[in-house]
Amino acid sequence: MADATPTIDVSAKPPTRFRRLRIAVSVFFGVVIVVFATLWVRSYRGEDVICVPTLGRYFRLNSVPGRIYFSLQYVGRKFWSNHSWKGNGSAAVELRHAISDRYEMFGFALREKNGTSYVHVPHWFLVSAAAAAAISPWLRWKYSLRTLLVAITLVAVVLGLAVWAGR
User: Which residue type, as a one-letter code, is found at position 153?
Assistant: T
What are the extents of the domains in the chain? Answer: 19-142
Closest by CA to 42, choosing from 62, 60, 27, 59, is 62
Q: What is the pLDDT of residues 78-101, one digit of tens each?
A: 555 555 544 445 555 555 555 555
Q: What are phi and psi for residue 42, nearest 5 degrees?
A: -65, -25
Q: Specify the DSSP class assigned to residue 85.
A: P
Q: At 47, which helix (H) or strand (E)?
A: strand 46-54
Summarize pLDDT for 20-71 with one digit per residue, the tens: 888 999 999 999 999 999 988 888 888 888 877 777 777 888 888 888 888 8
Distance, CA of 74 to CA of 71 (rounded, Å): 10
pTM above 0.75, yes or no: no
